[in-house]
Amino acid sequence: EKVPADAQAFKDELARITKYCTDLQNNTRIECDKYSNDVKFWAEYRTGIKEFTPWLVGAEKATGEGLAKPADLDEVKALNEKVVSFEKNCVNYLKVLTAAETASKLMTTHTEADNEVAALKGRFDQVKGVADGWVKKVDTLVKEWVLLDNTVVELNSWVAKDKSAEGENQFSLEKMESTLGELKNIFKEKEKLVENL
């Protein structure tokens, strides 16, 4: 049976409005989901940045102050532990920054976050470069200082053992001069390394 024209017009308008409302509801749900996810990712991003930034400020301060000049082998070993620990902290905090960056990339818009991460990464790279340099320098210093220490011990034991029963030294001057020359060179190298810290 035929529906009157004005009734059909109302039916068509009702169908159009119903479709419009359904589409609006679906689009609103999608936007709310995006917003909900953005809030979650933004919170992860901000948490990472809040953890990373104070560490970075402290690390920049530490690299600006430099290293203490050690006076003996024990101080060099302690300094070595300190710089190795500092370098490991750099690696661990880079993971924090990377996690924050990953979370920011999942946000709908992340240009501002990208810029902030890039700036922090640049500052981090400077700190990491200093840390790597410190590890290398202090490792070399430890090796030189241990060599110096071992050479002194060897020289002392060699001089002590080369005494005759009458208490006279039985060592050769050539061997003594050679060992002292080596000792002098090692000491100079160690002093140069300490100066360059």
Band (pLDDT 50/70/90 cuts) for residue 33 is confident
Higher pLDDT, 116 or 157: 116
For residues 143, 147, 150 and 154, what is the CA-based torsion angle, rounded to 10 degrees? Answer: 170
CA distances from 88 to 20, 22, 93, 131, 135 (A): 58, 55, 9, 9, 10
How far apart CA 143 and CA 135 sit, in angstroms, is 12
The pLDDT tens digits for 143-181 are: 988 888 888 887 777 767 666 555 555 566 677 677 778
What pLDDT is recorded for position 152? 82
Kindly report the average pLDDT of the chain as a whole number: 87
Q: Closest by alpha carbon to 135, among 86, 96, 170?
A: 86
Pair 45, 96: CB distance under 8 Å: no
Helix (H, G, I), strand (E, B) or coil at 66: coil
Percent of residues, the chain, with pLDDT higher than 70:
91
Residue type, 62: A
Segment 95-114 shows an average pLDDT of 91
pTM across the whole model:
0.71
